[in-house]
Amino acid sequence: MPRSPLMDLAFGFMPAQIIHAAAEIGLADAFTDGRPMSSTELAKETGAHAPSLHRLLRGLTGLGVVEQRDRDLFSLTAEGRRLRADAPDSIRSLIRLFCGPEVWRTWGDLTETLRTGEYAWERVTGRTPFEFFASGAELSETFNRAMAEHTLDVAPGVIDAHDFGRYGTVADLGGGDGTLLAAILRAYPGLRGVLFDLPAGLAAAPGTLADVADRAEIVPGDFFASVPGGADAYVLKSVIHDWHDAKAAAILRNVRAAMRPDARLILLEQMMPEIVAPESAGIVRNDLNMLVATGGRERTEAEYRDLLDGAGFAVVALTGPLPPAAYHVIEATPA
């Protein structure tokens, strides 16, 4: 009887936890000067148990994160270097977040969510996800850095796809540490920016925006209450998908109330196809993550148009999918 491919999928939790453990103990950062190192040396740097770490290193070899040079000598691969905190294309915080214990427990409660329709995060942690990650400095830092790592990957495609030079001032709502706004301001030296988020989300913003600080204003606030007025364009990246329709519409109505008639709304979101196929697996998994983690959803083009129409907007342009993460730029005006 041939082996079912479902078996490999069922045991997919093992590679995820191997990589998460490496990220959590800072293993990639322990490789100094790019030289091969033994499990004993690495254990001293990471505080790990050397024999156990040796077994993990063999597991990481099978995943292409490290290369085994001798019986107890390992070197970091190019992909493994992305687990370093100081790598320009680091994904360490993303892995610490999405393979961490809270997300793990939330996905483990998927069956109950299917039975009830209620998202799992609050059920398993006792708090909403945003309350949870704002509750401690380390949690907040991991979340904010993970979002920044993802945004850093997405920003070049967004800047190539949309002409931000049309505007005088761009407001990035829910923009976290300002990674996207900083990239936009660097690409358009004549542009001014406003970064708006909850105080916990803005903690690292002064450092991120340091080189464009003379053109960037950092404004704490809650977009469920109000948003700053006066901008020419309002950008929301990966914000609307976090919320169910009623809360998403509330955010959009507050943006609409702050906008001048000639201002633009720019949504940056992935878009669910009407009919999914194997190549849609990434966005489908994202949608299921929203189902268990936030109560939000990934939406189709028609669903975004309906949501925007109900909040007082008219879609005027749609661009995408953009590499590498298949985002779309949805441009809308006040109706």
Q: What are phi and psi of 267, to 5 degrees?
A: -95, 135
The C-alpha atoms of residue 270 and residue 329 are separated, in whole angstroms, by: 9
- Asked if 144 contacts 176 with a C-beta cutoff of 8 angstroms, the reply is yes
The C-alpha atoms of residue 276 and residue 328 are separated, in whole angstroms, by: 17
Task: Name the 3-class secondary structure at 178.
Answer: coil
What would you measure as the largest C-alpha separation in the chain, in angstroms? 68
Sheet strand arrangement including 233-237? 216-220, 192-197, 169-173, 233-237, 264-270, 327-334, 313-322
- Asked if 73 contacts 37 with a C-beta cutoff of 8 angstroms, the reply is yes
- Single-letter amino acid, residue 55: R
Q: Which residues of 233-254 are buried (b: 16+ CB within 10 A; e: fewer)?
A: bbbbbbbbbbbeeeebbebbeb
CB neighbours (10 Å) of residue 41?
19
- Asked if 23 contacts 92 with a C-beta cutoff of 8 angstroms, the reply is yes
Per DSSP, what are the bridge partners of residue 318? 330
CB neighbours (10 Å) of residue 197?
24
The C-alpha atoms of residue 286 and residue 267 are separated, in whole angstroms, by: 17
Which has the closest alpha carbon to 106: 276, 313, 292, 282? 292
- Catalytic status, residue 162: no
Which has the closest alpha carbon to 96: 35, 29, 42, 44? 29
Catalytic one among 20, 54, 162, 241?
241
Q: Which residues are catalytic?
A: 241
